[in-house]
Structure 1
Amino acid sequence: MVKDTDWEGVIAQLDRVAAKGKKMVWCVVGAGNGGIAMAGHLGIIGFPVQMYNRTDEHLNAIRWYGGIDIEGVVTGFGSVRLASANIGEALEGADVIMIVTPSTAHYNLAALMAPFLKDGQIVVLNPGRTGGALEFRAELQRQKCKARVVVVEAQTFVYASRMITRNRAHIFSIKNGVPVSALPSFLTPVVLKVIDLAFPQFIAGSNVLATSLENIGAVFHPALTLLNAGWIESTGGDFEYYLQGISPSVARVLQAIDDERLALARALGIRTVSAREWLYLTYDSAGDDLCTAIRSTIAYAGIKAPRSIDHRYIWEDVPMSLVPMASIAANYGIETPAINLIIDLANLMLGQDYRANGRTVRSLGIEGMSVEELHRLVTEG
């Protein structure tokens, strides 16, 4: 990984990448719902696009047709010049690497990519969930990666999209503003200059602590899924997930989780909005409490519950969001009983140990750091 003394060289390299304009090469890692939407959109814009996916057969249609058809708010055919299950081949020559996979894959991807990364490449986690950039950076260091790369974390995914076939996707919407932060954060303006040509929707986040703790899915998804487990398993998820799944008692649990998230943010000196305020800002929701605010959210109408509780709302959001929140909080002496309760419930109901498999201060590389040391890491490197 890059040394503190090398940042001037990194900035100069990123300036050269920005000057390439639409000759800038993008590599999209992941060929699922989000990955093919992003790769197709980048191709439509006119960028050279390369793709990686670990399951080679999922790339066959893209290779056969030479790209991806996109419909919805974006329409057209996006060329993909390379689609490969060989990570070294896919990363070769890429200026920006967009990782669009479940966050459970980030750790392994860092180890897989480490030998092939080159100076000046930008790696963006779409999104990072909680602690994604810190974990990715720490694993690159453990792998003794020498490349001067910049790891970036998006607060959420820029698209609402769905894969129709292996080379066709529907983009329902593109978010107006998605906070992103580089690690360290003083590089964020330089990174934005590079990626703005493709994604003007990306805006500067304060730092990766902020993007990690603005993870509202951690508040909503695990508890809402587990507390509706009986209904989900009886109906196969045939009910309105948010509008019918929420109730005053369920909302009290979500509110307790959100209160603990906000307490952690305050302890770390991070300013963030509550889940209720986020609903107001994002969806023009209304209501004096979280239950009423969720029920008033028109955008949630028609969204069905998962068909099973064995869903990414549990196997991704618990180990990659709630577990790191609890671990970071414990590192600084902050109690999180509601978050811990949901982790324990997920472990019991799914027969897993998400604490053992999830992100912790150790895997993030911040164990034992003071708040001041942590801030120095995320702002200065």
Structure 2
Amino acid sequence: MRVSILGAGAIAYGLAAYLAEAGHDPMLWSPSGERTKALAAGEFLTATGAIEATVPVRIAKNCKEAIASADVVMIALPANGHKKVMDAAAPYLSEGTPVIISSHSSFGALYLSKQLSERKVSLPIVVWGTTLVTGRQSGPTEVHVTSIRQKLDVATLPFDSMDQGFDLCMTLFGDRFVKRDGLLAIALSNLNPQNHLGIALLNLTRMEKGEQWSQAGNVTPAVGRLIEALDAERLAIAAHFGIAVRTVEEHFSLSFHVPMGTVSEMNQEMERQGRGGLGPTTIESRYILEDVPFGLLPTVLLGKMSGNSAPLHESGISIFSAAFGRDLKADNDILPALGIEAMAKADFENLCHEGF
């Protein structure tokens, strides 16, 4: 299949390498055009780690070109770029062409649905609870893939497109997907924001000083307990909506292939196996600038809507805003366009099921 990936970071590169190795035909579009210059000049994409491959990848000159030639469109870049890319893509998306959001954040699928409804275009929007791969770019044509997740939560908007979206994901990426009960379930299944809050908050000076530090190795018992307490808030909100989601312990075990234990124990096992990974070397990190406004804030809003407050999530937003000297909530450019805060719970649940 011809798969156009809107994005050009580590996740987009990892997806392109995976798809090419699986016999598909990926195309990358970089919104800035900077990251893909070498690939556009004819150099091959090289992946190391969990994917070992050197493959050719097509590069689109613009968003219109990327979408025009695609059987499937994927959005794969940090959440603070989702609105910009959706705005660029919406005028060119055509009836029935599936869009996969990897990974879904801050009800971006609703924003895209709203944009498409204004054009009277209907298509399945497939949302993932997290990314298929983890890793880092090691150069303009290189990506090191740390892991490929064994299980990945998936849902669709509208909900009645679930079978089509599930089959598409299986065709592209294999038997690793788990159907979830709609967009709300996916929103409450993305554990990265809460986990990154615990990791970044309690290792903030390491990040600010640019140290080289093991991320998993520094998920000490204290960090692990904070992550587990954050998880308890998320689970309480999910229970109020009647949604079954994985626990953080299940997430770490399935994502990183370690025996079940406490969050700290599983991270220490990853470290022992040499898979601890490196933590961010700057506070200008997606762990804060993406996950606070686009991950923690939606959870706080869902908590208020459900009557289950999330004081640790809310405090994390306030603490990081204070550390940065500005209101990080204001960075979210998706939620204001949706007006979720003014919606009744039943109306919002219906919107997450049907879309606009």
Could you tell me the TM-score, scaled by structure 2's length?
A: 0.88
Aligned residue among 319, 332, 344 for 2:306: 332
Name whichever of 41-50 and 94-103 sits farther off: 41-50
Aligned residue among 191, 207, 228 for 1:216: 191
- In structure 2, how many angstroms separate the alpha carbons of the residues matched to 1:74 and 1:355? 36
Q: CA deviation at 1:358?
A: 2.2
- In structure 1, how many angstroms separate the alpha carbons of the residues matched to 2:94 and 2:295? 29
Aligned residue among 25, 33, 37 for 2:14: 37
State the partner residue of 2:35: 58
State the partner residue of 2:227: 254
State the partner residue of 1:18: none
Instruction: Give the length in aligned residue pairs.
Output: 352
- In structure 1, how many angstroms separate the alpha carbons of the residues matched to 2:34 and 2:169? 30
- 1:175-196 CA deviation, whole Å, 9 max, x = no partner? 2221111112221211222342
Unaligned runs of 5+ in 2: none
State the partner residue of 1:162: 136
Name whichever of 346-355 and 278-287 sits farther off: 278-287
| Contact 1:110-1:140 at 8 Å conserved across structures | no
Unaligned runs of 5+ in 1: 1-23
| Contact 1:164-1:170 at 8 Å conserved across structures | yes
Amino acid at match of 2:80: T
Name whichever of 159-168 and 91-100 sits farther off: 159-168
Pairing of 1:128-207 with structure 2 (within 5 A) = 128-141=104-117, 144-200=118-174, 201-207=176-182
Pairing of 1:107-146 with structure 2 (within 5 A) = 107-141=83-117, 144-146=118-120
Q: Does the C-alpha gap of structure 1 residues 188 and 359 become closer, same or farther in structure 2, counting only changes over 3 Å? A: farther
| Contact 1:69-1:168 at 8 Å conserved across structures | yes
- In structure 2, how many angstroms separate the alpha carbons of the residues matched to 1:360 and 1:73? 33
- Paired-residue identity, %: 26
- Equivalent position SS for 1:124: strand
- Equivalent position SS for 1:169: strand
Please tell me whether residue 351 in structure 1 is matched to residue 328 in structure 2: no
Q: Does the C-alpha gap of structure 1 residues 229 and 45 become closer, same or farther in structure 2, counting only changes over 3 Å? A: closer
Amino acid at match of 1:47: H
State the partner residue of 1:87: 63
Q: CA deviation at 1:27?
A: 0.5
Could you tell me the TM-score, scaled by structure 1's length?
A: 0.83
Pairing of 1:7-18 with structure 2 (within 5 A) = none
Q: Does the C-alpha gap of structure 1 residues 171 and 256 become closer, same or farther in structure 2, counting only changes over 3 Å? A: closer
Cα RMSD after superposing both structures: 2.6
| Contact 2:170-2:177 at 8 Å conserved across structures | yes
- In structure 2, how many angstroms separate the alpha carbons of the residues matched to 1:297 and 1:43? 28
Q: Does the C-alpha gap of structure 1 residues 225 and 172 become closer, same or farther in structure 2, counting only changes over 3 Å? A: closer
